[in-house]
Structure 1
Amino acid sequence: MRNIYSAIVEANLEDQIKVSTVISANLLGCSYPPSEASFSREANELMEPIVCFLVENASPLLANLYPYYTYMSGSFTLDYALFNGPSVVKDGKFDYHNVIEVMVDAIYAALEKCGGPNVSIVVSESGWPSAGDAITKVENGVAGSYYSNLIKFVQGRTQRRPGRAIETYLFAMFDENLRSSVVEKHFGLFTYDQKHKYVTNLNFSLY
């Protein structure tokens, strides 16, 4: 990261290009409740200099977050993962109504403990497969609901960062039919041969 940043500075592009890295929620040693979250002891040795770099250069931290896998582990209900759940995670003065908000705020809490209270988070990947197990089929509407509700949610804020929209990237544009895992073949918004899979509020088409 420092070498890349040095090259960018040499090209006088430091005001246009940010340098960061990506993590997953697996780096959290404690993640529940969100306010108690921190990076694991092993991860913290790496995260401290990374967070220091991000602070020095006003760069965000990228995070790949997949509530699908959290749901499949049995940690939450499907409705809670799809932003529809009546259940609430209570954390002091905060009430959490969906899994992705819990994940984002847990990382924010870990960043605060690691010297980065002002580092922002970009969700660099999030998605839901349309096939591969009993609850993911397109006709069930599960994946389409996740994408639609995610897009609505990230335009708002989280409990720990009120008023700040969450820059978010969907994974993925296309299904990857050559993947070895059945589930991982079906994360696309489009099939591998460019057919639209969902009726959502994604207002674009392929040409």
Structure 2
Amino acid sequence: MSRASGAALILCLAMLTGCTSAPPKDQGDLCSIYRQYPRWYKDSLKMQSEWGTPMHVAMAIMKQESSFIADARPPRAYFLWVIPWGRVSSSYGYAQAQDPAWSDYRKNTGKGGSRDNFADALMFIGWYTAATHRQLGISRADAYNQYLAYHDGRGGYRRGTYRNKPWLMKVARKVAQQSHTYGAQLNQCRRELERNRSWFPFF
């Protein structure tokens, strides 16, 4: 197969990938995720460049929030334990961004987009964690505390609401460990990903 033919084939596959909402096959391996969805690597680089949040931190938060399910929603609330009564929150999409936070993001950045679009949702995480760093002094690389502030909001974090939620601190430790694992994996495959990106610049 010629290089031009190969490029055309990869382009077609990339276009199909952009439309899918299927989560990655191996969510525990960041290299595998980026190999399956090369465009996501480019989107992650763009987010990291714009907001300074390491891609492995943002991806660990996204994995915890939605398991990379594009249209993820929180469970339904029930009236009298039987009758469906809306959702427990307005969280939606890859980043599980709630309506007010998403509205603030769009207003403060001038960006449009959709919460069920990977690139848009990852940019939201980058924006949120960068603002948390600015307002609370939490390092963008500190996945544990960034996740606590992401989940409980910056006001909740200031008040220490997470201290009364042992389950949340356990989840935050899980996110931190996932971030550490993702970072180590990325160090092993970054040269490969960059080589592929330069070979197929439309990714």
Q: What TM-score range do you get, normalising by the shorter chain?
A: under 0.3
Instruction: Select the structure that is richer in strand.
Output: 1
- Give the TM-score normalised by structure 1: 0.22
